[in-house]
Amino acid sequence: MTPRPTILDGGMGRELLRIGAPFRQPEWSALALTEGPDRVVEAHRNFIDAGANVITSNSYAVVPFHIGAERFASEGRSLADTAGRLAREAATGAHHEVRVAGSLPPLFGSYEPDLFDAAAAPDIIDPLIDGLHHHVDLWLAETLGSITEAYEVRRGLDRAGDTKRLWISYTLHRSDEGRIMSGESVADATAAALDLGATAVLFNCSPAEMITAAIRIAVAQAGTAAAVGGYANRFVAHHNEEVSAANDGVSRFRDDLDPAAYCEMADQWIDDGASIVGGCCGIEPAHIAALAASVSRRSGSSSGGA
């Protein structure tokens, strides 16, 4: 019997905003780690109650791009530790098995692969890994814009001697679902993830329609070597077009991607071979509940172990 697909959570930042957590630019979701930690646990639990069996630590914005270089140097590790601890607290109180994925974000800003600085990267990723590793079950390197970024994640984990499972998730080029943000092909990005020992290759924070095409390419490339999946955003315009102004405001949502419509998209991903589905920015607990209900209807077996 085909294993039941794994259900990820949705967009943590916008869920924090939705439930009234402390939230402002430039700190974004990182602000709640210090000013509203109970809200972080609440947001995690909202997704767990909706049916997620993997939640992602609220460490995406714990980078100099959001909290500033000086604060990151002094508090980055402790903030990552807090993010991991809060996620673990939420997972431990769940009524079903929930794994915690440690979010390893783009180190120099989302959708900006050209800003990658190999010399500076270890000073950012190493504290994140060190702060999170005691709390997480697996690593989710997400919204990566280039193959180079994926290799830096692997180097960081190797420096730490960490052997937990690694999931690598790329964001797609704004006009070509066959390429990731750097312009490198989805096929090459998938091959690189496999070379790095990833047990899952995903695509996130891109329009759902683009992820559909990328999943088909990745499934053909990965075969049985790794799980494939996706978690889309709900932005009106691809968020890639707005990132140079990362502190300028909050993007609008599509009005045609309610839980039922999003579930139809994710059902197509599963039909095409995806075994991990969830949501990114703007995908709320209601969307995850619809995914979980659909997955339950499709399969009565336990979730997979990517």
What span, in angstroms and rounded, lies between the C-alpha atoms of 233 and 164? 27
pLDDT computed for residue 242 by the predictor:
43
Judged by DSSP in three states, 198 sits in coil
Residue 175: pLDDT band with limits 50, 70, 90: confident
- Give a yes or no: residue 83 inside a domain: yes
- State percent of the chain over pLDDT 90: 87
Q: Is residue 1 part of a domain?
A: no
Contacts 24+ apart (CB under 8 A), 267-271: 267/294, 267/298, 268/212, 269/211, 269/212, 269/215, 269/229, 269/230, 270/5, 270/295, 270/298
The 10s digit of each residue's pLDDT in 43-58 is 999 999 999 999 999 9
Of 184, 171, 178, whose CA–CA distance to 145 is shortest? 171
pLDDT of residue 1: 53
Answer yes or no: is 306 within a domain.
no
- The whole-number average pLDDT for the span 292-301 is 84
CA distance 122 to 82: 20
Average pLDDT, rounded, for the chain? 93
Report how far apart, in Å, the C-alpha atoms of 61 and of each of 64, 82, 108, 125, 140 are. 8, 13, 11, 12, 14
Task: Count the domains in the chain.
Answer: 1
Asked if the structure places residue 303 within a domain, the reply is no
- Whether 305 is covered by a domain: the verdict is no
The arithmetic mean of pLDDT across residues 195-216, rounded, is: 97
Residue 275 lies in a domain: yes
Domain around 237? 6-298
Residue 38 lies inside a defined structural domain of this protein: yes
Which tens digit of pLDDT belongs to each residue from 13-25?
999 999 999 998 8
41, part of any domain? yes
Which is more confident, 177 or 237? Answer: 177
Lookup result for tokens 């929930």: 98
Q: What is the pTM of this model?
A: 0.94
pLDDT, mean of residues 96-108: 97
**Contact call for residues 132 and 59 (beta carbons, < 8 A):** yes
pLDDT above 70 for 104: yes
Among 244, 247, 197, CA closest to 222: 197
CA distances from 32 to 39, 61, 92, 151 (A): 7, 11, 20, 30
Q: What is the CATH number of the domain that holds 42?
A: 3.20.20.330
**Structural contact between residues 69 and 77, judged by C-beta atoms closer than 8 angstroms:** no
What does the pLDDT look like over 209-266, one tens digit per residue?
Answer: 999 999 999 999 999 999 999 999 999 864 444 443 455 567 788 989 999 999 999 9
Nearest CA among 78, 83, 72 for reference residue 43: 83
With cut-offs at 50, 70 and 90, classify the pLDDT of residue 303. very low
